[in-house]
Copies of this chain bind each other. A is one copy, B any other.
Amino acid sequence: MIYVDSLLCSPLERETPDHRPALDQIAAGEVGCVVTTVGFWEDATESMDQLVKWRHMAEDNADLVEIAYTAGDIRRIADSGRCAIVLGFQNVSFLQGRLGYVELFARMGTRVGQLTYNIQSDIGGSCYEPHDSGLSRYGKYVVREMNRCGMVVDLSHVGNTTTLDAIRHSAEPVAITHSNPHSWAPHPRNKPDEVLDALKDNGGVIGLSVYRNIVGEHTTAEKWSEMVAWTVDRIGIEHVGIGTDFDQTGGMEYVSWMRQGRWARETQYGAGSKANPGKAPKLDWFASPADFPNAEQALRARGFDDREVALLMGENWLNFFDRTFKEL
């Protein structure tokens, strides 16, 4: 069994704080693959600078991690006892409005791109936007080009109208790497049943999150597993995985960059709120990647069998990457 985390947002490429303890947590949890967050608001060259930093981090910690460019790479790296890093972005601001950059960033190793982060873009509307435009004309071209180039369309922070448009328009299965069902945890970041059903029909996968701001009341292993089980009942086991949304190392300056970027002067709270502005505390049973075995345990306790546990813990994502990653 290979554990996959479909969304990690730890800024491990940064020189401070020392990222080795965070990598040790990933190793302790025997996590075989993480989709990382290379950027949020960066333009093309800033994103390229980020790609270089991630590469350097991986080179400097080759005993624990390696960047994966193919689904085969992921299995090989995981089988070696290390963690495969899949390069993903939580926004496609790296395109700078250029459709042609999809292929270039795919060639540079980018395998996952979220269509929007927390604000509207030239692609579509975000989950926090009061009026979601739906997928723009440019956005439609981008989705098809991402399909062609094997860059996974991620819809986690994307608004519901844009999400449904993107699912309809995509020629390939799409991902929701880190969200929960809205009917279980009402929050703009979570997905209504209509979206989950569309994801199922599309052949996509959702990574259920343990980020406290979006798990609602389901903070214990038992309650969280209940939410997993409900999701499995709703859309089928092959469409469900885990995307923790863990930030292991970023301080408030990083959280502020993530939430606010350069698009506002007024403080933005992201998935938090004015009353809850800081970093959300972690769930006590799943507080870092080191706790992945606890999730396996919780799913077994909920009654999933060996095969089902393996699918939920990572195989669904690996099968999804097999289908969606492409060599250009």
Contact = CB atoms under 8 A, between A and B. Distances in A.
Interface in A88-108: 96, 98, 100-101, 103-104, 107-108
A67 to B, nearest CB: 11
A148 to B, nearest CB: 12
B44 A98 contact: no
Contacts of A49: 98, 100
Nearest to A99: B52
Nearest to A53: B100
A103 B44 contact: no
Contact of A44 (B48, B56, B109): B48
Given A44-B44, A44-B48, A45-B44, A55 B98 contact: no
A45 B49 CA distance: 13
Contacts of A96: 45
Nearest to A52: B100
Contact of A101 (B52, B107, B109): B52
A51 interface: yes
Number of copies: 2
Interface string A54-76: 01100000000000000000000
B107 A52 contact: no
A100 B44 contact: no
A38 to B, nearest CB: 12
A298 to B, nearest CB: 40
Contact of A107 (B98, B100, B109): B109
Contact of A100 (B55, B100, B104): B55
Contacts of A98: 48-49, 52
A96 B98 CA distance: 20
A43 to B, nearest CB: 8
A298 B103 CA distance: 43
A52 B99 CA distance: 9
A205 B49 CA distance: 33
A25 B44 CA distance: 36
A108 B108 CA distance: 6
| The 10 residue pairs across chains A and B that have the minimum distance between CB atoms | A52-B100, A107-B107, A107-B108, A104-B108, A44-B45, A48-B104, A45-B45, A48-B101, A108-B108, A51-B104
